[in-house]
Amino acid sequence: MLNFKGKKSISQTKNDSHAGTIATFAAGCFWGVEEAFRSLKGIIKTTVGYAGGNMKDPTYEMVCTSETGHAEAVQVEFDPKIISFEQLLEVFWKCHNPTTKNRQGPDVGSQYRSAIFYHTEEQQKVAEAAKQKLIKKGVPVVTEIIQATQFFPAEEYHQKYLLKHGKVCHI
């Protein structure tokens, strides 16, 4: 799918035939989050990008203003025969602090918020149950759980950034 500027965007909603094998998570800077998922057995592909905003074709610079409404996110294509959505959620909860609103470590702004963008009603149900389980344990989770809409892949230099540059993340 091309948006109005000709940049490729990915639309993954409940009606998409791949929806059960796609998961989208926002958990702070997308470089480390991508790395947390990328090497897991059963992961087919990871793409860093922008989700949950109100602007078509956002750029990194635009998202950094916190004015587009987008979060830095990672879209994960996975094989549910090898890794389940529940197992992906376990990684999600562990790779960031879901109790801080619009912040992860030194990164501050709504683009760094904690969010699960669900693609199916089943993902929504599982994500809500996992969040409630943490809350019942006394963890003040602020993670948003919202329906996935259009996902915009980030610029190429952001894709697999840590792997390309031989860097590691605090995650």
Which tokens is 99 given?
């109790």
- pLDDT, position 170: 57
Cα angle value 61/62/64 (rounded, 5°)? 65
pLDDT band of residue 161 (cuts 50, 70, 90) is low
Residue 129 has pLDDT above 90, yes or no: yes
Residue with the two structure tokens 């879209």: 75
39-to-31, 32, 68, 90 alpha-carbon distances in Å:
13, 12, 30, 15
The Cβ-side half-sphere exposure at 21, using a 13 Å CA radius, reads 12
Stretch among 30-44, 65-79, 157-171 having the lowest mean pLDDT? 157-171
Domain ranges across the chain: 10-165
Strands 150-153, 43-51: pairing kind: antiparallel
**Which of 16, 11, 82, 17 is closest to 43 using CA atoms?**
82
Burial class (CB in 10 A: 0-12, 13-18, 19+), 53: buried
pLDDT of 75-126, one tens digit each?
999 999 999 999 999 999 999 999 999 999 889 999 999 999 999 999 999 9
Which residue among 29, 64, 95, 169 is the active-site one?
Answer: 29
Which tokens is 107 given?
């990164």
Architecture in CATH for domain 10-165: 2-Layer Sandwich (3.30)
pLDDT band of residue 15 (cuts 50, 70, 90) is very low
Catalytic status, residue 29: yes
- pLDDT, position 106: 87
